Structure 1
Amino acid sequence: MEDEMNTNKNLWKKGVVLAAAATMIAGAVPTVNAFAYGAYDVSKSTFKSDTDNSADFQNWKTNVWWGGEQANADTDKVALTPGTDATGLNFAWYSESKGTPAVMVWKDGAKGAAKVFTGTANDISAENWQGKTYVASNKVSIANYFNENTKYIYQYTDDYKEDGTSVWSAEYSYTTQSTDKFSVILTGDPQVGASGSSSDKQTNDESVARDAYNWNKTMQQALVKCPNAAFLLSAGDQINESNSNTDEVRKTRESEYAGYLYPSVFRSLPIAATIGNHDMNGSDYAAHFNNPNSEENLGQTAAGSDFYFNYGDALFISLNSNNRNQAEHRKLMQEAIASNPDAKWKVVIFHSDIYGSGQPHADTDASTNRIIFAPLMDEFDIDVCLTGHDHTFSRSYQVLDGNVIDYDISSGSVEDPEGTMYITTGSGSGSKYYNLLNYTPYYIAERTNACLPSFSTIDFTDDSFTIKTYDYNGNRYADDFTITKNENAQSVDEVIASAEKLVNSTDVTYTKESMAALTSALDQLKSLKTSSATAEDPMIADIVGNYGTSSDRVSGYGSIKNKEDKDGSVNRFKKGISTLLDKTIYSQVAEGQQAQSDDYTADKAPVVKGMDEAKSAVINAMNALEEAKPEVVKPDGLANEAAEDGNWYYYKDNQIATNCTGVAKNKNGWWRVVNGKVDFNCNSVEKNENGWWYIRGGKVDFNYTGVAKNANGWWRIVNGKVDFNCNSVEKNSNGWWYIRGGKVDFNYTGVAKNANGWWRIVNGKVDFNCNSVEKNHNGWWYIRGGKVDFNYNGIAKNTNGTWYIRGGKVDFSYNGKVKANGKTYRVTNGKVNL
């Protein structure tokens, strides 16, 4: 079957997987699986017998685990745990006497500079099947001491003496790693002691020996794949015995802890172990591990509480999923995030696989815990949630509010995703395996329950999270997967908040067009988000409010206490009680069954499509916003400066007065305005309410005095303005003109005067070629070179005859003789008789 399962090594795209899931026959394990590493019938597993039949195991069990004084099966091995950050390290171990515990540490090769750190010894009373009685749990915490990429040596003692008589342990090494690029190991459910044997709860416990042996092999292989691991993340159920109510079971728990802590790597590799349901009922967990930032006891049960620590740009939060007090978990998470608000990666680990795929728990008791813990992952924008409990491996799609956020992950990666990726670990020791659900939950991207111990390595960089999963032989157990982040990437909520801030801002005004584009994109993104939102779940308040009381509707590790709340014989809340479960369970699963509904199709799954595209559209619209030019209130009249297009405009009520044509003034002068705009091509005489003006290059030329024309004629201009009082003879570049009422009278022919004299006018213009006698209303005049010659006395002719001129004017009163040109002429009434 394994060969058959491995025929398809390529991760299918989401739509194909959902479609495949939709066509599976309810109640049947598929013979061809859509995932790379397959589903197995665990009843056919030979792993336990293969171990028992191994000569290497038998030799180890007899000569190492049970050999000599059975020191390897003792419970006093030191356990390292992470400090509050990478500069710290915590220690815990049991001792048979109580004193002042201490750890001496130094850089490799510099023991002379060793430093001693003392701690506290807490009273305990613990026995194991090897006959040891321990009275103290010793804890030492070191802070602000360790440097990156450095090898240290340490020893510890149960009773430190300043006089130098302390008895120190053997020397062990601890090597720090880089904090900007590092790797960790992930395991789950070693559950030492769970493989079962007839000799359980005895000195020679077969199950503890078997599981410790395989657990050690897993850790050895993990160090081969990840030799520079910074620490181990353990997803709970370190041991198997879940009770602690008798001496016998308490001794068994201690023997199981001896098996869990047996791998020698743990003398050098810190363990961050979350509390599983099998760990929860004894105080031994808290005695064996010295967890950082756990002093407030938030999320506490008998075993211990929540804790957190930082490692470079990554924040790690461990929640005790045995405690359903959501408010306490929220407080711990708030404090954790406040300790590293700019953490690049936020990773949460707890035991219950709230989005897993194992048959016993994923759609039963783990779904109860989903109601409490999934909203916290959404609220705090957790990148990855690591879980265990079902002894099967699975990786989810990106999940947010119960919805799968649709991304193309065919390349084995996703960039800047929304939601949380949920990992469920397989068994770290092979002590117990479970079947997968007989259907594939819509949120599962990959799953397998291949019956071999497994582990994962996780590589962190400043922009990537990569998980790789192996069996304890070093073979691939699942596909690699990577989440990448861009430095300035924002979540959908952050993008919405940024966009709304811009939309509502009064600090900057943007163009109507660019703001309309942003508003439209924002509305689409918000609509997509709200349309997929789960209605408020009343069971959150119910579970939290009644936790630990007689009204609590949940018992144990997510079991449904009351028959009327239960989905028939299936251990989960029935439909209609929890909105989140209605969405994430009953959209796919048949009521009263652990099977897919007959009418289920992929389009019924809560999958949100287009979220990434909608987010990008908002980001693009924000980047494309154009700042509007500040609106300038234009005073009525002609602007004092040119507009951006180079034109000068006349404004009325802050608008260009396109109905305005005339001559208008600004600080630079008076200008010809045509339809609200200065006409710089204008060379004419134009009017406004103050008169008519001589325009040159669009501007009134107040320096001009002369005669200029427009469409209505030629006009006398004095200092740029038409002089309508002018009745004279005036000049321009074309000649001298007869002006009547300020205008050249082209109909006038006669004699007219100006300040310089009287002039012969022909059709309104001085005729400088005229040498004649011409008339006006005052008489007839002697014209010489176009001008009346008032100094002339004599005779002169015109077409009408020859005339007697006296002082330049025909003397019609004269009758007599006149001499001219050497002759004497007879004059009658001013006219010469020739």
Structure 2
Amino acid sequence: MFRFSKAVLLGLFLCLYALAHDDSGIVKYSSVEMYKPTPMPDRIVLTWEDNPATTQSITWRTDTSVKKAYVQIAVANASGRDLNPDLFGAKTIFFQSDINQAHYHSVTIRSLDPNTLYAYRVGDGVNWSEYFHFKTASSYPEPFSFIYFGDAQNEVRTHWSRVFREAFRDAPRASFILHAGDLVDIKDMDSNWGEWHEGPDWVNATIPLLATPGNHEYVKYSKAKRTAPEISAHWQPQFVFPIQDVPDERLKETVYYLDYQGVRFISLDSNIAQEEQVPWIKSVLENNPNKWTVVTFHHPMYSPGTDRDNPHLRKLWKPLFDEFKVDLVLNGHDHVYSRTGDLAGAKVENVPNGYQQAYDPDVGTVYVVSVSGPKMYEFTKGNYAKKILEDTQLYQIIDISDNDLRFQAFDATGNLYDEFKLKKRKSKPNQLIELSKKVRNIN
């Protein structure tokens, strides 16, 4: 008769327990499988390269078996089977990512009617997406809203997606969505872009977006983290922005402007060729027929983050913003929230960065820094801003109507944190009206 020691029996028990609770049957998808292109269109995005009232640009991705791609589009009606859409061929380019090969397709539909709802779908003639709606802008100044996000960047699928979706719940009729750079962390990693597309999902196919590049759209992923001379290879295949008379070829589709219902939106590239952009900025501001001007670029003019000041931007660009009284500047990069405003006699010097309060009532420009992803930094001590907040994911909704601009900042759960209004005044700077009930200051 065999006898087993207690040690042997214990070992046998542990082995059997491990086998009974073995989770090796759970399959973890690799990024290659998760983000593999197919003949079915995915990563569908709306942007503009021209007038938002009469054009619409559409991009999407398939595998390389799709050689010819199309858009079907018609004025939307209440009976889908009676759409009778027009057919437009798309431009197709080959794209080699770090994990797959794909075709990106793009088309700009022109001669659309302003202020009109359209239905469209994309495909190869056999494999079609579902129909989506978009609405063209009005040719005239009319009230509208847009959503603004700071850096998404890290853990985008896990933690940024809910922020995007909460913003969409709050503003489902937003005219467009503005991203202030660092959409992803590693610029040429397809899985990073795959995660970024997963968050908005179909919303990107029905609400257009504007985007300005961040340093992580330029930084080459290496131990040295050295700046690469080119923007992410993914940028231009998936986003179609205006190609304008910029001073440097590298700035095409990163430096541009669009006019939307009485507002000029300007994207600048704070990563490269900052000085070369100065004449272009002056021309675009000087020849601006719109009542409102909103500028976005990634690195803050006034940085709330420790050791992250950008004095060269203030030296180069701020004089033009002051001269032409830019209304609102939207930034990212510092992974905190900061918003300038009149401190009404409070001690305003920011000693570590050497500048005083950033709001000048004789100019009226409001500067905002925000973050939408989970990566956070700490503040520099010192008080230069009206509202500051750290360790909080946020989204912002901006409403513009005639002489009023209303700005609201919400946290990831939809709680209102900051609110103000800018009111246009004849021959005077904007009036800044604080609507937040309390000002939080961590100094």
What TM-score, normalized by structure 1, do the two folds share? 0.41
CA shift, 1:327, in A, is: 3.5
1:465 Cα deviation (Å)? 0.9
Post-superposition shift, 1:404? 5.0
Q: How far, CA to CA, are the matches of 2:409 and 2:249 in structure 1?
A: 31
The reply to whether residue 323 of structure 1 matches residue 272 of structure 2 is: yes
- 1:90 aligned residue: 57
Question: What is the aligned partner in structure 2 of residue 459 from structure 1?
Answer: 399
Rounded Cα–Cα distance in structure 2 between residues aligned with 1:102 and 1:398 = 52
Letter aligned with residue 289 of structure 1: F
CA distance in 2, matches of 1:287, 1:144: 23
Match 2:240 to one of 283, 286, 290: 290
Instruction: Name the CA distance, whole Å, in 1 between partners of 2:409 and 2:379.
Output: 18
Q: CA deviation at 1:177?
A: 6.3
Report if aligned partners of 1:83, 1:142 keep a CA contact under 8 Å in 2. Answer: no
Aligned ranges 1:689-708 → 2 under 5 Å:
none
- The verdict on how the C-alpha distance between 1:300 and 1:476 changes in structure 2, with shifts beyond 3 A counting, is farther
**In 1, distance between residues paired with 2:56 and 2:246?**
20
Which whole-Å CA distance do the structure 2 matches of 1:423 and 1:73 have between them? 37
Corresponding residue for residue 116 of structure 1: 87
How many angstroms apart in 1 are the aligned matches of 2:27 and 2:169? 25
- Give the aligned partner of residue 261 of structure 1: 197
In 2, Cα distance between equivalents of 1:147 and 1:70: 39
1:480 partner SS: strand
Match 2:209 to one of 266, 271, 278: 271
- CA–CA separation in structure 2 for the residues paired with 1:375 and 1:387: 18
Matched, 1:70 2:37: no
Q: Is the Cα–Cα contact under 8 Å of residues 265 and 293 in structure 2 kept in the other structure?
A: yes
Q: CA deviation at 1:139?
A: 1.9
Identity over aligned pairs, percent: 24
**2:295 partner SS:** strand
How far apart, in 2, do the equivalents of 1:327 and 1:392 lie?
Answer: 29
Residue 294 of structure 2: aligned partner: 347
SS at match of 2:217: coil
Q: CA shift at 1:81, angstroms?
A: 1.2
Aligned counterparts of 1:167 and 1:274: Cα–Cα separation in 2: 32
Give matches, 1:405-416, under 5 Å: 407=361
Does residue 137 (structure 1) correspond to residue 104 (structure 2)? The answer is yes
Q: Residues 367-516 of structure 1: matches in 2 within 5 Å?
A: 367-397=311-341, 407=361, 418-426=363-371, 428-430=372-374, 432-441=375-384, 444-449=385-390, 451-477=391-417, 479-486=418-425, 488-490=426-428
TM-aligned CA deviation for residue 370 of structure 1: 2.7
Query: Following the alignment from structure 1 to structure 2, what is the Cα–Cα distance between the partners of residues 143 and 333?
Result: 29
Q: CA deviation at 1:225?
A: 1.5
CA contact (8 A) 2:263 2:292 kept: yes
Matches within 5 A, 1:628-647: none
Cα distance in 2 for partners of 1:65, 1:345 equals 47
Work out the CA distance in 1 between the residues paired with 2:31 and 2:303.
Answer: 40
Distance 1:151 1:368, change over 3 A: same
* Structure-2 change in CA distance of 1:72 and 1:336 (3 Å): farther
In structure 1, what residue type is equivalent to 2:213?
I
Q: Distance in 2 between matches of 1:347 and 1:491?
A: 15
Q: CA deviation at 1:269?
A: 1.4
Is the contact between residue 316 and residue 348 of structure 1 (CA under 8 Å) also seen in structure 2? yes
Code of the residue aligned with 1:483 in structure 2: it is L
- Alignment partner for residue 359 of structure 1, among 287, 295, 306? 306
1:290–1:482 distance in 2 versus 1, CA, 3 Å: same
Letter in 2 for 1:91: I
Query: CA separation in 2, counterparts of 1:473 and 1:141?
Result: 36
Q: SS of the counterpart of 2:186?
A: coil
Q: Structure 1, residues 390-422: CA drift from partner, whole Å, max 9, x if none?
A: 0111111379x9875665xxxxxxxxx624211
| Match runs of 1:587-626 below 5 Å | none
Structure 1 residue 151: Cα displacement: 3.4
CA positional deviation for 1:133 = 1.1
**Partner Cα distance (2:292, 2:27) in 1:** 45
Q: 2:213 and 2:292 mapped to 1: Cα distance?
A: 22
SS of 1:185's equivalent?
strand
Q: Distance in 2 between matches of 1:187 and 1:269?
A: 14
Larger RCO (CA within 8 A; separation ≥ 6): 2
Change (3 A) 1:405 1:446: closer
Please state whether the residue corresponding to 2:175 is helix, strand or coil.
Answer: strand
Residues 300-309 or 380-389, more deviating: 300-309
Counterpart code for 1:376: L
The answer on 1:218 being equivalent to 2:163 is yes
Aligned counterparts of 1:398 and 1:102: Cα–Cα separation in 2: 52
Find out whether 1:106 has 2:74 as its counterpart: yes
1:623 match:
none
- The CA distance in 2 between the partners of 1:137 and 1:68, in whole Å, is 17
Please state if 1:172 is matched with 2:132: yes
Partner SS for 2:300: coil
Query: Judging changes above 3 Å, is the alpha-carbon distance between structure 1 residues 113 and 491 closer, same or farther for their aligned structure 2 residues?
Result: same
Q: Is the 8 A contact 1:469 1:476 kept in 2?
A: yes
Report the alpha carbon displacement of residue 70 of structure 1 after superposing the two structures with TM: 2.5
Contact 1:317-1:349 at 8 Å conserved across structures: yes
Shift of 1:491: 5.3
Alignment of 1:783-822 (within 5 A): none
Residue in 2 that maps onto 1:311:
260
Could you tell me which amino acid in structure 1 is paired with residue 194 of structure 2? A
Deviation at 1:371, TM superposition (A): 2.5
State the SS of the aligned residue for 2:236: helix
For the structure 1 residues 65 and 386, does the alpha-carbon distance in structure 2 shift closer, same or farther, using more than 3 Å as the test? farther
Query: Which structure is larger by alpha-carbon Rg, 1 or 2?
Result: 1
Provide the residue aligned with 1:4 in structure 2: none
Following TM superposition, the consecutive aligned residue runs of length 4 or more in structure 1 with deviations greater than 6 angstroms are 62-68, 72-75
Cα displacement string for residues 143-174 of structure 1 (whole angstroms, at most 9, x for unaligned residues): 341432x43221113x5xxxxx4543222222
- Gap runs ≥5 in structure 1: 1-61, 160-164, 195-209, 243-249, 408-416, 493-595, 597-834
Contact 2:95 2:101 (C-alpha < 8 Å) held by counterparts: no
Structure 1 pair 402/73, CA: closer, same or farther in 2 (3 Å)?
A: farther
How far off is 1:116 after superposition? Answer: 2.7
1:337-380 deviation per Cα after TM superposition (whole angstroms, max 9, x unaligned): 63xx320111110000111312241x3xx233332232332243
Aligned CA distance change for structure 1 residues 82 and 66 (closer, same or farther; 3 Å): same
Output the CA distance in 2 between the equivalents of 1:295 and 1:342.
18
Q: Deviations over 1:512-561 (max 9, x none)?
A: xxxxxxxxxxxxxxxxxxxxxxxxxxxxxxxxxxxxxxxxxxxxxxxxxx
Matches of 1:377 and 1:177, distance apart in 2: 26
1:334 is displaced (CA, Å) by: 1.9
Letter paired with 2:243: S
- Deviations 1:206-250, CA, capped at 9 Å, x for gaps: xxxx421322211111012112100001000001015xxxxxxx3
Three-state SS of the structure 1 residue aligned to 2:329 is strand
- Which amino acid is 1:116 matched to? L
Distance between the aligned counterparts of 2:394 and 2:388, measured in 1? Answer: 13
**Which residue in 1 is equivalent to 2:348?**
none
Number of aligned residues: 372
Cα distance in 2 for partners of 1:63, 1:267 equals 31
Cα offsets for 1:404-449 (capped at 9, x unmatched): 5665xxxxxxxxx6242111112x121x1000112223xx121111
The CA deviation at 1:259 is 1.1
What is the DSSP-based 3-state SS (H/G/I as helix, E as strand, rest coil) of the residue aligned with 1:229?
coil
Residues 387 and 173 of structure 1: CA distance in aligned 2, closer, same or farther (over 3 Å): same
Looking at structure 1, the residues matched to 360 and 286 of structure 2 have their Cα atoms a distance apart, in angstroms, of 27
Q: Which moved more, 1:308-317 or 1:260-269?
A: 260-269
Question: What is the CA–CA distance in structure 1 between the aligned matches of 2:211 and 2:342, rounded to whole Å?
Answer: 25
Residues 360 and 76 of structure 1: is their aligned pair in 2 closer, same or farther, counting only changes over 3 Å?
A: farther
